[in-house]
Structures are given as C-alpha cells and as structure tokens.
Structure 1
C-alpha cells in the first residue's frame, strides 16, 4: 500500500511539472515600453503568468495549447482609468435613481462589465457610483461574473451642493442633510471621515469633485468646490492609507488647488491653463482627459429632451472643449493615462478615445501606451500589468490590422485573455 501511495504522489508531482502552457503565436506584437512593433513572436503563458517571449513561431508539447494569431496584432490588455461601470447614459437617467433599488443597479451593471472586457479593457478604474461598484469588483475577482479587473472609488466625495452630492435637484423634503457616510463633506474633519469611511467600505482609490460638473444638476460646471484645507485633508488621509486621490475638475482654479494638495490625477481638465499644465508636469500629476465623454455630451445635448435644461446648457458649452485642452497638455509634456468616462456614453465604445487623442497629434503607439503601461503606472501596478513581459499577469488582446498604422482597428478586438484565461476568441 505504501508503494502505491508513493507512486501516486510521484505521478502527481511529475504531472504538475508538466502543467499545460499556452503558446500565443503573434504575427505582430506591440512593445508598449519601447513603442515599437515586433514581428513573428511567441508568448508563452503558464497558469496566469507570462513566462517567456520567443522570436519566431513556437509550440510546446502535445498537452500545450497553441493560439494562432499570426495574422493579428497582439498587445497588452487595455486599461481605462475613468469609467462608471454601474450605469449608462439614457434620457431617463435623472429619474432612474428614484426607481432603481441597489439590486437593480447591480443587475444592470453586469452586461456593462462584460461588454467592457470584450472590448479589450481588462482593467478599469471606476470613479464613482453608489457602492455597488465595490460589490461588482468583488464578484469579478471571485469569478462569479465576467468583467474587467476593477479598481474603484466607491462613492465620490463632494461638498454640500457639489457635483457628487446625491441629493442635488430633488425637493427639499427628500434632500435631507447627507454627510461623510454619503460622501458629502464640509470642512477638513468631515473630509478625513469621508476618506476613512470609503476605505472601510472597500474603496481602492478616492475620487473628489474639485469643481462643478457637466452632467449633474448642480448649477456651476467650472467653479472650485473645495477649500484648500478640505482637499489637503482628503489627500493627507488617503496617503496615510496608501491610496491615491483622483480629482474631477473642469475649472482651472479647482485644478490648481488639487495639484497643490498633492492630488494623483486630474480628470477631464477642460479649462486647464498652461500654468496649470506646468504645475502638473512639475508635480508629476497624471492627466486623464476623457475626451470621448466631452464629445458625446455635446452631441447628446443637441437631442431635444435628452438632458435637463441646466445640464444641456453646460454640455453644449463645456463638452467639446476637452479635446483641444488634451492636445495642448500632450504637447506640454503632461503625463497622460487613457480614460474615457464610459457610462457617459455606451460602454464598449471606449476605443473612441484613441481616435480623439490621435486627431490632435498623439502618435498611435503613444495612445496605446497611455492605455497600457501608463495605466499600470498610474495605478502603481506596473510590476504586474501594462506590458507583455515575463513575470507579468497574462492580460493579452489582439486586433486585425496594425494600429500603429491605422488606429481605427482598435474598434474591433478579436481576442481577449485575462489572467491567462481566454474570454474571447
């Protein structure tokens, strides 16, 4: 009996050492670190990791899997650093909040998560929702539902009456007096409590609305909304927890206050002046432009009744300015990470950001780098993701055609692997 047990153990050890590998034969492979396109490469994946990259086409033993992408261009899984995975634009959006329970929001979010992953975005940063985004992240991580890897802010933080105050625009008896638990603050003590509460609930990142916004029914879209001591308290408290803070900002003064506080990233940046760009470059602040959101909002504003009048006017005035600002910030050398604000427009159309970025001068491969390596750098996970290199997690996608020559091919992602598992082929 002892010999049989030992023989079985030896067999299992030998079998484990011969674990199945996947050989991905790539006709073209984008090196996003060096921004060049390699030809005829083989990526070898074992379990959830990339273990080797070989020049030429190779295959393994009989048990190994071979993926033929010889006619495709292969690159790391894409990263969108600004999405709202819980919802999606609709002319009924402003009344849905009175009808949908938390469970309704969760079920509606499931297809948005899947669509995002099938579009090639294997990692996203969700910057604000109801808190369902935290549960969705956990469900995806536990393999219960299909979706991208999510880093989420949970609820956004705003002052009373600010862009992310959830009671804007309702009648007074429904407004109540939301506080830090609902992400509404007044003063540095509230600010610290709101951050700590967000961390307690499971947020990976903190998001503040440093200025007014376009799509909320709050009045001003550009004025600063926090005093300096409030932003300072948010950033200092988040730093104690080892997490970053992102600042939604359209107006320039709000951006400057956020940068002075040590904010990690500026989102949108519509009215950013050159002085602020210089401040960001000096401080190493990331810029996440979300051009697609601005362009989409300006277009939806032309549809009668799509937005409430206060939102329509802001969208038409502010929306389309973001692309021009992005072009200036890019030429100034501000650090840029790809982000779209998906949810303001239909999920799965995130690829449009590539088109808008390259229209104003960004090179095609730089745009792809912004959605891969730069996203990983912004999140602080460049040791795990962002490039196709040995030791990295196997997040790999492929498209027909060569995006270095034609960025339009990013619209159709034909192969998606996340964590070494093929989810689209």
Structure 2
C-alpha cells in the first residue's frame, strides 16, 4: 500500500482551462499509479489521464546544440509526443510550468557501481553481505536518479545484485534510473576483477573469474543466463586492487576474442576495464565496444579506437575526490600509492584522446566517490578540452548510442521516454549547473 503521509513531495501543476491543482505523492510513484489509486477512491476524473505539457524558458536540443526558447514538451504516458517552441497545448492537459529553467534530456552515466560505496574500497567490504550491498544499491539508485541521471550502465556487482536492483526498479518496487546491468565482472585469477583482499586460506575467488577460452565462454553465458544486459571484462590491472599493475594486460587476445564474439552473438555489448596501452590495444582488436578508464592510452590506442569506432569512457573526476578523502575512507596505503600515480597521468592522456577525436561516452565510476555527485564529471571534461556542449553530448546522445538505446533515451524527441531534467541558468555557459539539477522526470513521472 502507498503511504501518502510518508515521503511526500509537492508538485504544482495546472490543468489547462481549470484551477490550480496540487498533487502530493511519493517521489517514486508515477502519475498513472497515483491516478489508479485515487480512481479506486472515486476522486479522479477522466481528465487525470490527459496529456502532460511541460513549459520552460529554454530547452537544449543536444543534437543541434541549439537552445529552443519558450519550450513546450508534450507527453502521453511514458513517452514524448512532441517538443518545440510555443507548441499548442491540448485542452485538458496537465501543465507543469518550470518557469525560467532550462530543460535537457535525462542524463546517462555509463560507468557506475550502484551496490558499492567509497568505504568499500578498504577492508570493510569483506564484512558486507549480498543483502547488505543490495540495499546499498537501492539507496544509491535513488541518489543517482535525484541527481538527474535517469539511465545508467552498472558495470560490476557481486552476486548479480545489480540485476536484482534493475528488476526491482523496473517493477516499481524502488526508485532509481533505468539500468543496463552486467552482473559479476569477468577477469583472470588474481586480476583486478578477482577478490584480492582475503587471505589465501579463505580460498576466496570472485564469481566472475574465468581463465582460458573454455572458462571464459562458460562465464559469459552464465552471466547472460542470469540477466546481464552487458558483459564487463577486466583487460588490465587496476588501481583499487592489490598485487597488479594498471599498465599490464591480463586477458590474452584469444580469451578476449572468445568473450566478445560470444557476447555479440548473444546480443550483448562488452565493456573493458583497461588502463594500460597493451590491454587497450588487445581489447580493441578483439572487437570490444568500449574502453573504461583508458588512463595510459597511447598514440597506438588512440589510432586503433578511432579506426574501430570504439568508445572511450573516461572516469576522471574521481581522482579529485579519492585522493582528498583517502584517509577518511581508510583507503589501504598500496592502493593510495597507485592512485597518486595513475589518476593524474590519466588526465593528461584523456586530454590527448579528446583532442584527437576518440569517441567519448560519459562515465564516473561512482562508488569510488559518493553516488549523486556524478554531475561533477562534466566540469573536468571541459577542463580537459571539451566544450560544454560536447561534454553534455557524452551523457546524452553518445551514451544512448553506446547503450544501444537511441530509440528510448538521450534526447527530447517524439517517441523517446519522457526522461527530462531541469536546471537553473544555461549549461552551455556554465556546465557546472548540471551538478545542481533542480527537477527530474523519468518516464513521464516527476521524481524530484
């Protein structure tokens, strides 16, 4: 039962040609769900199912880069039916007037770990059960949605917890963004995607560990069996793992080809954690869809990624937060030492990749820093050479293309989900406005 006295949010609306109407409902409840509930009480008329019209001073067309003044967006159910300047609003439409705000498509983060938090980067993660990380994921999904990210790709969670979270959100059980989930990330024994925090006598091996072509195929198929939308692999060592080097490759070309070709055959894309040049080269040659991080990307990697049209998903803001907060989260000294070397180097190399024209999609690695701060990545991308519009496109049209969801999200266009955000000011002049999203709609329901 929805408890209308708890977790309420007031959303002022008007019905065209009628008096002001104020609706109170839980943040995660859609207007349609509210209407059904109230219909059962006999206090909702047919007008409640009418078209919704959003009015705002400005709307950013992320494809053209144009700002549309006096914007009107018409929505029927979950989908946009029309968007433009001064569109006629149908009689009986529910009108949401956002005043002087700028509206944009809901943002997309292509590299999250919703079931993790920064404190988990230390030894405390050993004490966390799957039920506990799942509930952590529910909390972080809500924070991410409230920050204006209406879609995410979750690239690595223990025990398929991200897949369970995705399904709970889709069922309406908890609030959160649309999720493309990977389940357990795949890696070699003792590699970045293996659990390296337990002593050997505990014989702890991560669920996604697969060595050799035969095992790699089996784990790929198992992840898909249990609901993975995307396959995540660790092609190199990492920063936040013991005993490996981010510059060295881990999977062989043969193993990578087996995983990627099978995933593609079964309709899934593949994301490769890859810091080092050799790991990037091997993953791209094997046909991977995206390189995550790319900290040590070199001229050969840049050339190959452009030739193969492989997406780069840099995660650069985390370097600021992690190093500043390492003591507070008790980050183990060996991991901090690696971070202090790798993360500043990454910025230099990512800037070169941006300048060279490598295709970029937006990602944050949220969990390395607190969820909800995802928007801070935009300003760093601009510092590294992007224009504000280019940075915004990484989290809208670019990300939707990498997801394979261009028919659903990434722009405010007829037929797309009504995933829309609003900010004060002009993000083309100050991209940091995206750190302070004021209003969020997902699938036609106001959630902030």
Provide TM-score, normalisation by structure 1: 0.91
Distance in 1 (CA, whole Å) between partners of 2:434 and 2:282 is 36
Distance in 2 (CA, whole Å) between partners of 1:19 and 1:309 is 57
Deviations 1:223-282, CA, capped at 9 Å, x for gaps:
110111111111011011111110001110000000000000000000000221110001
1:245 pairs, out of 258, 267, 270, with 270
Distance in 1 (CA, whole Å) between partners of 2:117 and 2:111 is 14
Alignment-derived partner of residue 263 in structure 1: 288
- Is 1:52 matched with 2:82? yes
For the residue of structure 2 that corresponds to 1:96, the secondary structure is helix
Alignment-derived partner of residue 437 in structure 2: 413
1:284 pairs, out of 284, 305, 309, with 309
- Is 1:336 matched with 2:360? yes
Q: 2:78, 2:418 within 8 Å by CA — same for their partners in 1?
A: yes
Distance in 1 (CA, whole Å) between partners of 2:95 and 2:64 is 27
Q: Which range moved further: 308-317 or 145-154?
A: 308-317
- Is 1:395 matched with 2:419? yes
Distance in 2 (CA, whole Å) between partners of 1:355 and 1:47 is 34
Alignment-derived partner of residue 345 in structure 2: 321
Provide TM-score, normalisation by structure 2: 0.87
Q: Name the Cα RMSD after superposition.
A: 1.7
Deviations 1:167-223, CA, capped at 9 Å, x for gaps:
x132111125x48xx111111111101100100111100011100000112332221
2:332 pairs, out of 308, 327, 337, with 308
Alignment-derived partner of residue 155 in structure 1: 184
Shift of the 56–105 alpha-carbon distance from structure 1 to 2, 3 Å rule, reads same
Counterparts in 2 of 1:26-425, with a 5 A limit?
26-56=56-86, 58-62=88-92, 64-90=93-119, 93-130=121-158, 131-166=160-195, 168-176=196-204, 178=205, 182-301=207-326, 303=327, 306-424=330-448
Q: 2:113, 2:156 within 8 Å by CA — same for their partners in 1?
A: yes
Distance in 2 (CA, whole Å) between partners of 1:365 and 1:185 is 40
Q: 1:74, 1:398 within 8 Å by CA — same for their partners in 2?
A: yes
Q: 1:217, 1:311 within 8 Å by CA — same for their partners in 2?
A: yes
Q: 1:85, 1:342 within 8 Å by CA — same for their partners in 2?
A: yes
Runs of at least 5 residues in structure 1 that lack an aligned partner in the other structure: 1-14
The aligned length equals: 403
Q: 2:121, 2:368 within 8 Å by CA — same for their partners in 1?
A: no
Shift of 1:295: 3.2
Runs of at least 5 residues in structure 2 that lack an aligned partner in the other structure: 1-44
